[in-house]
Amino acid sequence: MLVAFLLVGLPAQARKLKVGISGSPPFVIQENNSFQGISLDVWRQVAEDNELVYDLVPQSSPEVGIAAVDQGQIDVLVGPISITPRRLAMPGVDFTQPYYLAKSGVLLPLDSPTIFSRVKVFFGWAVISSMLILISVLLVVGSLIWLAERRENSEQFPKRWLPGIASGMWFAVVTLTTVGYGDKAPISRTGRGITATWMVISLIAVSSLTASLASAFTLFFSGTRETTISSPAQLQQRRVATIEGTSGVELAERGSMRVLKTENLTSGIELLLSEQAEALIFDRPAIRHHIKLNPHLAVQLAPFTLAEETYGFVFKTGNPLRNPLNVSILRLQRLGDIKSIANKLLN
């Protein structure tokens, strides 16, 4: 009893700490019996600064680790532990200065392209706007040619406005495509001047139209897969997978989503691919890292995020390590060491 009392009374730097670890790659990476990752590398530098001796104690989830800190089973919890209002309000635990700023990501399944999805690329605004502009220009050029030629060249460009403008547009089209059938040709100086100007303008018009159509045909033949969710609002009432014990559960519940809890990112992606879930919420860096290692997966990171995430280490309220750890984290941030650690693993 006396020995235990004396050990509790020792400063944290003078006794071996129990450091819990929880999280996913690239922040916590387990290889056999060793642990690496952004969070572990930052912690090791912080511990070295403060001459801390410790043992690593794996935790099944951040929530389990936070509860272990609160109950005194471990001294510190290390990992990508999101600092949320609910966690900060817990009376028994506290957080260090944030050591990493991230965002919550949304992972979506990619649907196989349908005939409609392939064809609709030709009705996109880029193609439609190009066609509308081209038709408008042909109408203007055709009208100008008709006005210039209707008196001296009425056989090719009739005096009546409808057939005359139609003949003018036909002439503008064959000039644009450089076909030049030769069935119509201007004879007046004004008509020839308009034609010469149109020949130069048509070079630009053809280039623009060709670019739009080439892009559309590329998308059509590539069979690019698509997602059905393009904004956070579309997640409401959807089946959304979350990793149990993470801040993603809070985000999903707050967003009125139908929450499906799973053990880890891999099992969450399996729910996506089996169509049991329509989306997955997790830390964006962890999702990116997983996709990079598994590029064959038919999934896509959504172009939007749900919230900013700040990661910190957790310890019991009143722990004397609070100030030394914060000082070390701030020093590492100012020196750029944390950024170097993150870039090395994320890239």
* Segment 25-58, tens digit of pLDDT: 999 999 888 899 999 999 999 999 999 999 999 9
Please say if the pLDDT value at position 181 is more than 80: no
Among 108-112, 153-157, 314-318, top mean pLDDT goes to 314-318
- Say yes or no: do domains 2-100+311-346 and 117-222 share a fold: no
Please say if the pLDDT value at position 2 is more than 50: no
Which range is least confidently modeled, 107-111, 124-128, 185-189? 124-128
Q: Does domain 2-100+311-346 have CATH number 3.40.1390.10?
A: no
Helix-, strand-, coil-residue percentages of the chain, each rounded to 5 = 50, 20, 30
Residue scoring higher pLDDT (15 or 343): 343
Which amino acid makes up residue 149? E
133 torsion bin: left (phi>0), alpha (psi -120 to 50), beta (else): alpha
Residue scoring higher pLDDT (234 or 113): 234
Please say if the pLDDT value at position 103 is more than 70: yes
Which range is least confidently modeled, 51-60, 198-207, 283-292? 198-207
Residue scoring higher pLDDT (57 or 218): 57
Tens of pLDDT, residues 53-101 = 999 999 999 999 999 999 999 999 999 999 999 999 999 999 999 999 9
C-alpha angle with apex 62: 57 to 64, nearest 5 degrees?
Answer: 70
Spatial contact of 311 and 84, defined as CB atoms under 8 Å apart: no
pLDDT band at 184 (very low <50, low <70, confident <90, very high): confident
Q: Which pLDDT belongs to residue 216?
A: 66
CATH of segment(s) 117-222: 1.10.287.70
Q: Which pLDDT belongs to residue 123?
A: 72
Residue 158: asked if its preceding bond is cis (omega within 30°), the reply is no
Q: What residues does each domain of the chain span?
A: 2-100+311-346, 109-113+226-301, 117-222
Q: In sequence order, which residues have a C-beta less than 8 Å from that of residue 38 and are 6 or more positions away?
A: 26, 27, 80, 100, 341, 342, 345, 346
Read off the pLDDT of each residue in 302-324 and give the average, rounded to a whole number: 94
pLDDT band at 156 (very low <50, low <70, confident <90, very high): confident
- How far separated are the first and last CA of the chain, in Å rounded? 51
The DSSP secondary-structure symbol of 159 reads S
Spatial contact of 286 and 29, defined as CB atoms under 8 Å apart: no
Question: How do strand 34-36 and strand 29-31 relate by DSSP bridges?
Answer: antiparallel
How far is the CA of 299 from the CAs of 145, 278, 283, 332, in angstroms?
55, 11, 15, 35
Per cent of the chain over pLDDT 90 is 60
Read off the pLDDT of each residue in 159-171 and give the average, rounded to a whole number: 91
Spatial contact of 173 and 138, defined as CB atoms under 8 Å apart: yes
Please say if the pLDDT value at position 306 is more than 60: yes
CATH of segment(s) 109-113+226-301: 3.40.190.10
Residue scoring higher pLDDT (297 or 227): 297
Mean pLDDT of the chain, nearest integer? 87
Read off the pLDDT of each residue in 233-241 and give the average, rounded to a whole number: 94
pLDDT band at 4 (very low <50, low <70, confident <90, very high): very low
Q: In sequence order, which residues have a C-beta less than 8 Å from that of residue 223 and are 6 or more positions away?
A: 113, 118
Please say if the pLDDT value at position 13 is more than 60: no
